[in-house]
Amino acid sequence: MPAIRPARGRWKTGFAIAATLLAASCASTTKAPIPRRDSFPLDPREELAGPFSSEVVKGCVALAEEDAARAETAFSAARWGGTQSLAAEIGWVEAVVIEGHAGRALPVCSKLLESGDPTLPLLVGCGEARAAEGDAPGAHDLYSRAVTRVSDRLGLNARAEELRIAAKEAWLSRASEGLRKSEWESAREAAAEAIALAPESSEARITAGDIEAKAGERAAALKRYREAMEIEPRNAAVLEKTGTLALELGDYGLAISALDRLARDNPKAAGRAAEARLAFRVANWPSAEREAARARRLTRAAAAELVWWMLPEVREARVGSGVIASDAVSRRDSRAVTRAVALGLLDVDQETHRVSPDSALTLAAGSKLLVRLVGILKPPPGQLACLGKSPRTGSPTNAEAVKLASACGLLTEKDGPVVSGPAFLKALDRIRSLVSEEAVS
């Protein structure tokens, strides 16, 4: 529960300034003009008709003189039926709250607030009682009702705003507690109250999103995170949550927007932003290519399919080899696999004449494919600097191929032992980039 400023400290300010005027006004039992104070405690007679008993006058004077104990005694003596009893009740509430005994005032407040149209001092006094007892939402509710009655009490408006923030924090605390206990409904209700109180708060929407995410309602969570991002478009925590969940749910446009913004201030997020852009591009591909691009374990046939799909040079390249793989015939993807075999991108077993298209693409096989692919995209006399003087279209050993692929930033040891679709796709993009850079230079 957020702390609310203690009663005595905040209410002493301004007492001395108003004491003389308030005491002079209270000294009359008639309805003399009441100097309107701008903060608690207000004159308990405000909005009430006189005359007032001598005990009410004494209590009012004691309040003005900052003697809460004497005020309580006087107001207690005046607490009998009629209009002046209401003034005494309000004054007594103010006095005991100032004394630090707000708990005693709460039952009286409940009775008075239910008995009719409450006056401004009653709303304010009972609001302070609830605030002193740690009920910031209840205090704000009463202060909110109070400030709707007046428009020129700047001090009351400021206190209402202070309590609004405290109430928001209280609701967020309750929401977090519900989240911790997996009490979804109570957590949601508390988060909704916080949002209603502070629609400008991104924190409230993040909490609401966290609740939905943990409850398994990821679409609802993303909606809340998106709202938070609209409020604070450069908040790193908001961008992180929004981008991550949007990417998981396939909302690639939102993921790109969030992660690109995050990467502007955090270069470490650049890789994930690139992942989002890649996912956005792949989302519109045919099903087979899309499945291959997202595969956690890429097959040799799927790799050939991606090469065929992404690189027209492969489809148009002249084939000089007569190698045929017996297990590549009559497949749906036979065109892509047989072209990869003919270009030497995939090795065929010399004894069985099989290319094993459904086997996993190992790091070594993937590295060989990519290194050989460079020779197709950049034929002699072109030479990528990262390949050095090593043959690009020959038959490097597994170790040589892995070393060359790593030197060119295509694949590394962390991409093995089996290459994934995203890693292979990035490697193909990297080859295209390297070839283009060399051509420009």
pLDDT at position 5, please? 53
| Number of structural domains the chain divides into | 3
37, 148, 334, 434 from 144: Cα distances, Å: 17, 6, 73, 65
Q: Is residue 171 part of a domain?
A: no
> Is 248 a member of any domain?
yes
Instruction: Specify whether 137 is located in the same domain as 220.
Output: no
Residues 97 and 120 in one domain: yes
What is the reported pLDDT for 84?
Answer: 64
Return the CATH number at 30. Answer: 1.25.40.10
Beta strands per DSSP E along 300-346: none
Residue 362, classed as helix, strand or coil, is strand
Neighbours of 46 (CB within 10 A): 17
What would the pLDDT profile of 310-355 be if each residue is shown by its tens digit?
A: 998 888 887 766 677 889 888 888 999 999 998 889 999 888 989 9
The pLDDT assigned to 376 comes to 82
Burial 155-173 (b: 16+ CB within 10 A, else e): ebbebbebbbebbbbbbbb
Tell me if 182 is assigned to some domain: no
Same domain, 293 and 248: no
The answer to whether residue 92 sits within a structural domain is: yes
**DSSP secondary structure string for all residues of 140-191:** HHHHHHHHTT-SS-HHHHHHHHHHHHHHHHHHHHHHHHHHHTT-HHHHHHHH
Look at residue 391 in the predicted model and tell me its pLDDT: 46
CA distances from 191 to 163, 220, 401 (A): 17, 13, 56
Are residues 239 and 274 located together in one domain of the fold? yes
Does residue 2 lie within any of the structural domains? Answer: no
So what's the pLDDT on residue 60? 92
pLDDT score of 17: 40
In-domain check, residue 175: no
Please indicate, yes or no, whether residues 71 and 18 belong to a single structural domain of this protein.
Answer: yes
Tell me: do 419 and 316 sit in the same domain.
yes
Q: Report the Cα–Cα distance between both ends of the chain, in Å, rounded.
A: 64
User: Could you read off the pLDDT tens digit of each residue along the chain, which spans 441 residues?
Assistant: 444 554 444 544 444 444 444 554 554 444 444 456 788 999 999 999 878 999 999 999 999 888 999 999 999 998 865 556 899 999 999 999 999 999 999 999 999 999 888 999 999 999 999 999 999 999 999 999 999 988 888 999 999 999 999 999 999 999 999 999 999 999 999 999 999 999 999 999 999 999 999 999 999 999 999 999 999 999 999 999 999 999 999 999 999 999 999 999 898 888 888 888 888 888 889 998 999 999 999 999 999 999 999 998 888 887 766 677 889 888 888 999 999 998 889 999 888 989 999 999 999 999 999 998 988 887 655 567 787 765 444 578 889 999 999 999 999 999 989 999 999 999 998 888 887 765 545
Check residue 432 and give its pLDDT: 86
| Domain endpoint, select from 109, 138, 165 | 165
What pLDDT sits at residue 237? 93
Note whether 64 and 131 are same-domain residues: yes
Q: Give me 395's structure tokens.
A: 């038959």
Crossing angle of helices 252-265/270-282, nearest 10°?
160
Are 263 and 308 contained in the same domain?
Answer: no
Domain containing residue 240: 200-282
pLDDT at 396: 81
Residue 362: strand pairing partners: 418
Residues 304 and 258 in one domain: no
Among the candidates 267, 282, 297, a domain finishes at 282
User: Distance between CA 65 and CA 79 in Å, rounded?
Assistant: 21
**Is residue 121 a contact partner of residue 47, using CB atoms and an 8 Å limit?**
yes
Tell me: do 418 and 276 sit in the same domain: no
Residues 138 and 216 occupy one common structural domain: no
pLDDT, residue 421, reads: 93
In a domain, 194, yes or no: no
Cα 211 to Cα 136: distance, rounded to the nearest angstrom:
22
- 381 shares its domain with 235: no
DSSP state at residue 385: G
Last residue of a domain, one of 138, 165, 192: 165
180 in a structural domain = no
Tokens standing for residue 47 = 């909005």
